[in-house]
Structure 1
Amino acid sequence: MPLPAEFDLISRHFRPLAGPGALELRDDAAVLQPPPGRDLVLTADAMVGGVHFLPDDPPDLVARKLLRVNLSDLAAKGAVPLAYLLTVSAPRDTADTWFAGFASGLAEDQATYRVTLLGGDTTSTPGPLSLSLTIIGHVAPGTAVHRFGASAGDEIWVTGTIGDGALGLAVATGRLSDFSGYLLERYRLPRPRVGLAIAGVASAGMDISDGLVQDLGHICRASDLAAEIDADSVPRSAPARAAGEPWLATCLTGGDDYELLLAVPPARSTALRVAAQDAGIAVTRIGRLMNGPAEVTVRRSDGREMALTRRGWSHF
Structure 2
Amino acid sequence: MPANEFTLIARYFSAYGRGAAVELGVGDDCAILALAPHERLATSVDTVVAGRHFPEESLPEDVGFRAVAAAASDLAGMGARPLGMTLALTLPEADELWLHSFSQGVAAAAVALELPLVGGDTTRGPLTISVQVLGALPAGKALLRSGAQVGDGVYVSGTLGDAGGGLAILEGRYQPEPEAAEYLERRFFRPLPPLALGALLLDTASAAIDISDGLLADAGHIAAASGVRIEIDRECLPLSAALQAHPDREQALAWALSAGDDYELCFCLPEGSAVPRGCTRVGAVLAGAGVVCAGAEGLVRGYQHF
TM-score, structure 2 normalization:
0.92
SS at match of 1:176: coil
Q: Can you list the C-alpha shifts for 1:110-160, whole angstroms capped at 9, x where unaligned? A: 2222221121111011x2x00001111112111110011111111100001
Matched, 1:116 2:116: yes
SS at match of 1:34: coil
Q: CA deviation at 1:246?
A: 3.5
Match of 1:289 among 278, 285, 294: 285
Aligned to 1:155: 153
SS at match of 1:101: helix
Q: CA deviation at 1:163?
A: 0.5
RMSD between aligned residues:
1.6
Once the two structures are superposed, the pairs formed by residues 1-316 of structure 1 within 5 Å of their partners are 4-19=3-18, 21=22, 23=24, 25-92=26-93, 94-125=94-125, 127=126, 129-179=127-177, 180=179, 181-196=182-197, 197-243=200-246, 244-247=248-251, 248-268=253-273, 270=274, 273=275, 276-277=276-277, 282-292=278-288, 294-299=289-294, 305-316=295-306
Q: Can you list the C-alpha shifts for 1:8-46, whole angstroms capped at 9, x where unaligned? A: 111111111223657453222222222222111111111
- Whole-angstrom CA distance in 1 between matches of 2:108 and 2:213: 26
Q: 1:177 to 1:223 in 2, by over 3 A?
A: same
Q: CA deviation at 1:162?
A: 0.7
Aligned partners of 1:43 and 1:135 also within 8 Å: yes
Q: Can you list the C-alpha shifts for 1:65-115, whole angstroms capped at 9, x where unaligned? A: 1111122111111111110111000102x4201111111122222222222
What 5-or-longer segments of structure 1 have no aligned partner? Answer: 300-304
Q: CA deviation at 1:245?
A: 2.2
Aligned partners of 2:237 and 2:256 also within 8 Å: no
Aligned partners of 1:22 and 1:119 also within 8 Å: no
Structure 1 residues 10-19 or 204-213, which shifts more?
Answer: 10-19
Which amino acid counterpart does residue 210 of structure 1 have in structure 2? Answer: D
**How many aligned positions are there?**
297
Identity of aligned residues (%): 36
Aligned partners of 2:147 and 2:206 also within 8 Å: yes
TM-score, structure 1 normalization:
0.90
- Whole-angstrom CA distance in 2 between matches of 1:115 and 1:188: 18
SS at match of 1:266: coil
Q: 1:24 to 1:153 in 2, by over 3 A?
A: closer
Structure 1 segments of 4+ aligned residues over 6 angstroms from their partners = none
